[in-house]
């Protein structure tokens, strides 16, 4: 991974952490480039914990690879950060179920690979502001994670 890509990933990760913190979540980033969630959001009383995968795109969104076996992905929440290096930074908060429902497989027209070797993707149209298929209900929708409980 290039230094620019690492910095873009950091910007996305810490932007998500900031937004969640402003919403009342305690946020803990994990070790970078480790398998699984990039951060955990915990309610104040620690009764609710959300593992979150963050995918950051520096400018215009790109399709996101889900690999050959997307059924092995277990992180329940994903945040796609687009236009990360611009003032128009935007986030899309999606569940793993929504990703599975919308993922597609490489048709193999360019790669000519057999089907079992073609990776799955989440198309950028779902997290591109203004696109016909944009998931508007997920745009900057931090409320989808629920309200962090407050100790009384």
72-103 tens-digit pLDDT = 999 999 999 999 999 999 999 999 999 999 99
* Alpha-carbon gap, residue 15 to 38, rounded angstroms: 12
**9 or 115, which is more confident:** 9
Dig out the tokens for 83 from the structure.
């236009």
Tell me which residue range forms the domain holding 8: 3-66+75-96+124-143
Task: Report if residue 114 sits inside a domain.
Answer: no
- Segment 54-68 shows an average pLDDT of 93
Q: What's the pLDDT at 22?
A: 93
Task: Report if residue 52 sits inside a domain.
Answer: yes
| Backbone CA torsion sign across 113, 95, 39, 141 | positive
Q: What is the number of domains present in the chain? A: 1
152 band by pLDDT with thresholds 50, 70 and 90: low
Contact 145, 152 (CB under 8 A): no
CATH number of the domain bearing residue 135? 3.40.1350.10
**39 or 150, which is more confident:** 39
Task: Report if residue 12 sits inside a domain.
Answer: yes
Residue % of the chain over a pLDDT of 90 = 76
pLDDT of 34 above 80: no
Q: What's the pLDDT at 1?
A: 58
Task: Report if residue 18 sits inside a domain.
Answer: yes
Task: Report if residue 24 sits inside a domain.
Answer: yes
Task: Report if residue 21 sits inside a domain.
Answer: yes
Is residue 88 packed enough to be buried (19+ CB in 10 Å), middle (13-18) or exposed (0-12)? exposed
Task: Report if residue 108 sits inside a domain.
Answer: no
Contact 25, 42 (CB under 8 A): yes
Task: Report if residue 9 sits inside a domain.
Answer: yes
**Could you give the C-alpha distances from 92 to 33, 34, 72, 124, in angstroms and in order?**
21, 22, 22, 11
Entry pTM? 0.92
């Amino acid at each position: 991974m290039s230094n620019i890509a690492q910095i873009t990933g950091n910007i996305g990760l810490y932007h998500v952490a900031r937004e969640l913190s402003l919403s009342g979540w305690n946020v803990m980033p994990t070790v970078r480039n480790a398998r699984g969630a990039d951060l955990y959001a915990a309610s104040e009383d620690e009764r609710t914990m959300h593992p979150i995968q963050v995918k950051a795109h520096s400018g215009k969104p790109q399709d996101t690879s889900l690999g050959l076996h997307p059924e092995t992905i277990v992180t329940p929440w994903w945040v796609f950060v687009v236009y990360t290096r611009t003032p128009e930074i935007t986030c899309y908060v999606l569940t793993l179920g929504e990703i599975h429902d919308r993922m597609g497989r490489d048709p193999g027209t360019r790669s000519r690979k057999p089907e079992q070797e073609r990776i799955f993707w989440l198309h950028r149209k779902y997290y591109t502001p203004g696109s016909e298929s944009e998931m508007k209900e997920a745009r900057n929708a931090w409320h989808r994670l629920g309200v962090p409980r407050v100790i009384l």
